[in-house]
């Protein structure tokens, strides 16, 4: 009997919102993230930029770590957030940088 480790979505809210967890796993990370026209590295950079620009800092914990595993360096991600300060707003970039610091330094 093989047991599969629960996904991040299943751990976060699968028992509360199983349909959203399934859509997250099957559609977002299954179908969308697996499309061949953008590399996982590029998808991560676009996703981090969208989260910063939208002020969705709480989602950055996961996506900054995923971006690193997809080949982006900490320096590139810090530079992207710094660049976004001028396009998405200083407070959003500062909030995102605080998350990045916690993620990258393990704080």
* CATH number for the domain harbouring residue 55: 1.20.1290.10
Domain holding 44, by residue range, is: 39-105
Considering the domain boundaries, does residue 86 fall inside one?
yes
pLDDT tens digits, 14-61: 999 999 999 999 999 999 999 999 999 999 999 999 999 999 999 999
Considering the domain boundaries, does residue 58 fall inside one?
yes
Considering the domain boundaries, does residue 2 fall inside one?
no
Coil, helix or strand at residue 102: helix
Considering the domain boundaries, does residue 77 fall inside one?
yes
CB 29 within 8 A of CB 21: no
Burial class of residue 64, CB neighbours in 10 A (0-12, 13-18, 19+): buried
Coil, helix or strand at residue 94: helix
CB 56 within 8 A of CB 63: no
Considering the domain boundaries, does residue 4 fall inside one?
no
Considering the domain boundaries, does residue 21 fall inside one?
no
Coil, helix or strand at residue 107: coil
Considering the domain boundaries, does residue 100 fall inside one?
yes
Q: Model-level pTM?
A: 0.90
41 Cβ contact partners less than 8 Å away, ≥ 6 residues apart: 67, 70, 71, 72
pLDDT tens digits, 49-67: 999 999 999 999 999 999 9
Considering the domain boundaries, does residue 53 fall inside one?
yes
Number of domains in the chain: 1
């Amino acid at each position: 009997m093989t047991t599969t480790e629960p996904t991040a979505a299943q751990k976060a809210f699968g028992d509360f919102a199983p349909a959203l967890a399934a859509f997250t796993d099957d559609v977002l990370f299954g179908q969308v993230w697996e499309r061949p026209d953008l590399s996982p590295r590029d998808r991560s950079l676009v996703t981090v930029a969208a989260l910063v620009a939208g002020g969705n800092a709480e989602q950055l914990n996961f996506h900054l770590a995923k971006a690193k595993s997809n080949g982006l360096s900490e320096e590139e991600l810090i530079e992207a957030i710094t660049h976004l300060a001028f396009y998405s707003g200083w407070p959003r970039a500062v909030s995102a940088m605080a998350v990045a610091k916690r993620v990258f330094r393990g704080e």
